[in-house]
Amino acid sequence: MGTNVGMSKTFDAVQRQIAAMGCDVFEVGLFNPDAAGEPTMLPRTWDAETLLRSVPWMRLQNRNGRNVYVRPAGEHNLSLVDDLTAQAVVAMKREGFSPALVVRTSPGNHQVWLKHPIQLDRELGTAAARALAERFGGDRGAADWRHFGRMAGLANRKAKYADPATGLFPYVLLLEADGNVYPEAERFLAEVSAGVERTHEERKQARERVGSRSMKARPVTLKSIDAFRSDARYGGDGNRVDLAYAIYAFAHGLGTADVSAAIRARNLAHKGNERRQEEYVERTIKKALGAIERQVVGRGR
């Protein structure tokens, strides 16, 4: 394939993909786990115009070993479902979940983006992605509100897909890109929203039941998170300490704000920027509340 022809095909695929996604701003990630002397990930945040101007650079980076990924920046109205068979894509359409975008990432493997009629917050976006992955056999590990999908028109440079005879990699093919909202969107989002609300209510009730019991025998002074940090059982593992303390604190009636503040009392800079630190605290609190809920449910059986 000539350079000009190849560039034109890549540009067309990228242009159609981002038009179907319909976002104002995109995050692009160029990933090479074997990069020598360079970051493994080159992140970029671009509007559509800048992204299209950058196609030659992305193509060069892809040729030099980097896989190219894209996702909406910030909260959005899309759900990515990864690792689908062609039969699963057909089933989605038959059941009213026609994708706004269908990409073949490698022979037999597909990614689709579904477009919702409204922007979803992080919790609802993750719940929707998980429900779709479970329903149609997608990868649950890739089911969250901000997962990267592959950029069409460029090569999938995973080593396992290299042709043993030629060393060439398969191109990520754009199969469909109508950009439409799927027919079952309103009904599906109502179901997912109801599930999220049920989870909130179940956790609230679990906290109240545990808090009610613990208040009857609550010690005058609760153990601080420092007591957990000095406990040899946790071996100085900050993640284990934070989770153990959170479970203990919730079981003894402390609120989310107090637990969050205690976890943040240690330096979390190694977790990344402020957003990543906040996500870590949220994950820890969610795990702790889940553990409390399981304890309550187990006692009620």
Query: How many residues comprise the chain?
Result: 301
- Over residues 103-162, the pLDDT tens digits come to 999 999 999 999 999 999 999 999 999 999 999 999 998 899 999 999 999 999 999 999
153 shares a domain with 9: yes
Give the pLDDT confidence score for residue 181 in this predicted structure: 98
Tokens of 87: 């039969």
Flag whether 108 is in a domain. yes
User: Does residue 192 fall inside a structural domain?
Assistant: no
Rounded CA separation 214/255 (Å)? 13
Q: pLDDT-based confidence at 216, cuts 50/70/90?
A: low
Residue 193 maps to a domain: no
Residue 202 lies in a domain: yes
3-state secondary structure of 104: strand
- How many angstroms separate the CA atoms of 254 and 294, rounded? 18
Of the candidate ranges 23-32, 191-200, 226-235, 267-276, the one whose mean pLDDT is the lowest: 267-276
Mean of the per-residue pLDDT values for the chain?
Answer: 89
Highest mean pLDDT among 166-175, 230-239, 286-295: 166-175
According to the model, what pLDDT value does residue 300 have? 40
Residues 266 and 136 in one domain: no
Q: Determine contact, residues 102/176, Cβ cutoff 8 Å.
A: yes
Cross-strand pairs, 260: none
Q: What does the pLDDT look like over 88-100, one tens digit per residue?
A: 999 999 999 999 9
**Contact status, residue 201 vs residue 193, Cβ threshold 8 Å:** no
The answer to whether the CB of 55 falls within 8 A of the CB of 11 is yes
For residue 297, what pLDDT is reported? 44
Q: Which residue type occupies 187?
A: R
Q: How much is the pLDDT for 257?
A: 80
Q: Token digits for 116?
A: 């919702």
5 or 207, which is more confident = 5
CA-to-CA distance for 169 and 150, rounded, in angstroms? 14
* Average pLDDT of span 191-208: 83
Domain containing residue 37: CATH number: 3.30.70.1790
CATH number at residue 212: 1.10.1240
Residue 106 lies in a domain: yes
94 within a domain of the structure (yes/no): yes
Q: Are residues 228 and 261 in the same domain?
A: yes
- Per-residue pLDDT tens digits for 236-286: 899 999 999 998 888 877 778 888 888 988 888 888 887 788 889 999 988
In this predicted structure, what is the pLDDT of residue 80? 98
Q: Which of 129, 162, 187 is the last residue of a domain?
A: 187
Q: Indicate whether 146 and 218 sit together in one domain.
A: no
- The three-class DSSP label of residue 25 is strand
Asked which of 144, 166, 187 is the last residue of a domain, the reply is 187
Quote the pLDDT of residue 148.
95
Are 68 and 117 contained in the same domain?
A: yes
The pairing of strands 173-176 and 149-150 is unpaired
Residues 108 and 245 in one domain: no
Residues 135 and 26 in one domain: yes
Among candidate residues 199, 89, 196, 179, the one with its CA nearest the CA of residue 137 = 89
Which of 249, 237, 251, 242 is closest to 284 using CA atoms? 242
Residue 212 lies in a domain: yes
pLDDT band at 79; cut points 50, 70, 90: very high
Name beta bridge partners: 81. Answer: 112
Question: Does residue 28 share a domain with residue 175?
Answer: yes
pLDDT value of residue 299: 43
- Residue 70's domain spans which residues? 3-187
User: Does residue 150 sit in the same domain as residue 38?
Assistant: yes
Give percent of the chain above pLDDT 90. 63
How far apart CA 142 and CA 147 sit, in angstroms, is 6
The more confident residue out of 258 and 228 is 228
Q: Which of 187, 216, 235 is a domain's end point?
A: 187
DSSP-derived letter for residue 155 is B
Looking at the structure of the chain, the number of domains it has is 2
Q: What pLDDT, in 10s, does the model give residues 36-78?
A: 888 999 999 999 999 999 999 999 999 999 999 999 999 999 9
Enumerate long-range contacts of 236-239, CB under 8 Å, 24 or more apart: 238/266, 239/284
Query: Are 177 and 213 part of one and the same domain?
Result: no
Q: Are residues 66 and 205 in the same domain?
A: no
Q: Are residues 232 and 118 in the same domain?
A: no
Q: Measuring CA to CA, which residue among 111, 179, 93 is closest to residue 151?
A: 111
Does residue 220 surpass a pLDDT of 60? Answer: no
236 found inside a domain: yes
